[in-house]
Structure 1
Amino acid sequence: MTSFDLLPGAEDSPVILHVPHSAREIPADVRAGILLDGPALERELDHIVDAHTAELAAVAAGLARSTPWRFVNRLSRLVVDPERFPDEREEMLAVGMGAVYTRTTHREELRPADTDPEPLIDRYFRPYARAMSDAVAGRLAAVGRAVIIDVHSYPSAPLPYELHGEGPRPPVCLGTDSFHTPPELVAAARKAFGEAGLDSPFSGTYVPLEFYGRDPRVSALMVEIRRDTYMTEPGGPAGPGLDRLAQALAILVDALR
């Protein structure tokens, strides 16, 4: 199967809805390197997957007056996490959650600690990163700017892997970057979603390395939606809150035209 999809939007839209963590699919050969058995792995997926966020983005795209582009990961983040930088000594490595996870959300062993991440990075991470960079370059070429809206969700109660889980957990958390998140983007998101906090319990946002900290034409915002506002936790079905949130996301998309 294709490990990601770029779903075209309006040619004059600068917006890319990025959905990196919505899938549960793990190829059989990758699953063979994971230490959890079937039921335990399914429980981990219930906790780690940003369930229904691809559906949320799709509904929002259908509601928006100007259809945004969508870049959707079709494989689980337990294969690789496309939002980690494999050559960066980031703090998530401390809990076994770099580009290739070795620990679970509950800090149990997922893969042996000495697992070589390079085969998975080469097979999945780098093609994904290149394609996302190309998607951003396409928006820059077409309209002179790109706006990445990173669509995520997070649990109502902190999980053991969270390094900053003691902070506020608002219905919507907006993750920002000092270079790539202008105040007007935050203001538009707050107007669209209503009650929203900043950078707690998760901060930052995703920009491909080719543009990160270099190109001010690329702006970005992470939208983290608390799961109890739209689904049954953990890993259960979506509820009516999904449609309300999709409408809010569509309002944000249209505000960025």
Structure 2
Amino acid sequence: MRIVEHLRPEDAFSVARPDVQTAPFVFNSPHSGASYPSSFLAASKLDHQRIRQSEDAFVDRLMAGVVSHGAPLMSAEFPRAFLDVNREPYELDPKMFSGRLPSYANIRSVRVAGGLGTIARVVSESDEIYSSLLTVQEAIQRIDTYYKPYHATLRKMLAATQQAFGHAVLIDCHSMPSATRGGETRMRADIVLGDRYGTSCSPLLLEASIAILEDLGFAVAVNKPYAGGFITEHYGRPTRHVHALQIEINRGLYMDERTLEPVPSFAAIADIFSDFAGRLMQQPLGLGDTGQRTLAAE
């Protein structure tokens, strides 16, 4: 956790780019941010350890090796508990705010009902974040200042990739608790891949990802319990040659979920995911124009 007095818009997310992009892939880590504005922490009733429970902690570091294979990696710096860019821009719970939300806000989504809208009400599905109501202005300001620039940058990266290679592949990277809700003895798979039940990417991309991950020794599940969030659903347009696949990594593989610290073997595990990405990007997936091209970093 990094406590910042003020989160400047230019510090809200980062993009690690190779000198030359050699593959039509863009990797994204929207939930690994750990820069907490001090005003946000002051408004929360949770202690510093508890408020971090919704982080996909260290996923950006876990996937950092993709850059050496010729693909960019975008990462949020703000925490998911502060603002969730894997939601529609205005999935907002009216019970959280002292004023009236704008008419275009989506106040009835399943995610809002669960307390996990664009401005989350809870972490870990049950722990209330705020000690008092927020103003509507606060929500709109977060969305305008951080959410919209984040997605504008992601769209630009995908558009540039598609223009250079004829198609683009977005790998949206997340992590998940090691145990299922309601039963610590029922352990999840090592990896859950989500393609929105076959709608967000070519089946060839999904099949290649499964084969590589299983060859690396991982137990892989598909779409259950995570089929992909807003980013996967919104950007995945296979008929337009833009493919999106969500990957959820079991946190028990690489971190201590109690202390929120990486395990001693973290670097070795990161090397394995770098190997996965490198092998995936070399697959002849037949997703579109396969001309050998490159995209120089800006």
* Same fold by TM-score greater than 0.5: yes
Give me the identity figure in percent: 24
Distance 1:15 1:93 in 2: 31
1:61 aligns with 2:85: no
1:15 to 25, 32, 39: 25
**2:200–2:233 Cα contact (<8 Å) kept:** no
**2:51–2:129 Cα contact (<8 Å) kept:** no
Aligned to 1:241: 269
Distance 2:188 2:133 in 1: 34
Distance 2:277 2:23 in 1: 15
1:179 to 174, 199, 202: 199
2:42 to 29, 32, 37: 32
Structure 1 residue 241 displacement after superposition: 3.0
Q: Which amino acid in structure 1 is aligned with residue 15 of structure 2?
A: L
Query: Which 5+ residue runs of structure 2 have no aligned equivalent?
Result: 1-7, 91-104, 291-298
Write out aligned runs for 1:76-91 (5 A): 76-85=79-88, 86=90, 87-88=105-106, 89-91=108-110
**2:237–2:243 Cα contact (<8 Å) kept:** no
Q: How many residues align?
A: 245
Which fold has the larger relative contact order, with Cα–Cα distance below 8 Å and residues 6 or more apart in sequence? 1
Distance 2:187 2:205 in 1: 21
1:123 aligns with 2:145: yes
SS at match of 1:225: strand
How far does the alpha carbon of each residue in 1:163-217 deviate from its partner, in whole angstroms, 9 at most, with x for none? xx999721110011233221101111011110311012211252484x5558631
**1:23–1:74 Cα contact (<8 Å) kept:** yes
Aligned to 2:211: 191
Q: Which amino acid in structure 1 is aligned with residue 79 of structure 2?
A: S
Higher Rg = 2
Aligned to 1:143: 165
Q: Which amino acid in structure 2 is aligned with residue 196 of structure 1?
A: V
SS at match of 1:5: strand
Query: Which 5+ residue runs of structure 1 have no aligned equivalent?
Result: none
Considering fraction of residues, name the structure with more strand. 2
Distance 2:64 2:169 in 1: 17
**1:57–1:246 Cα contact (<8 Å) kept:** yes
TM-score by length of 2: 0.74
How far does the alpha carbon of each residue in 1:79-110 deviate from its partner, in whole angstroms, 9 at most, with x for none? 21111112444311112110011112151210
1:227 to 227, 243, 251: 251
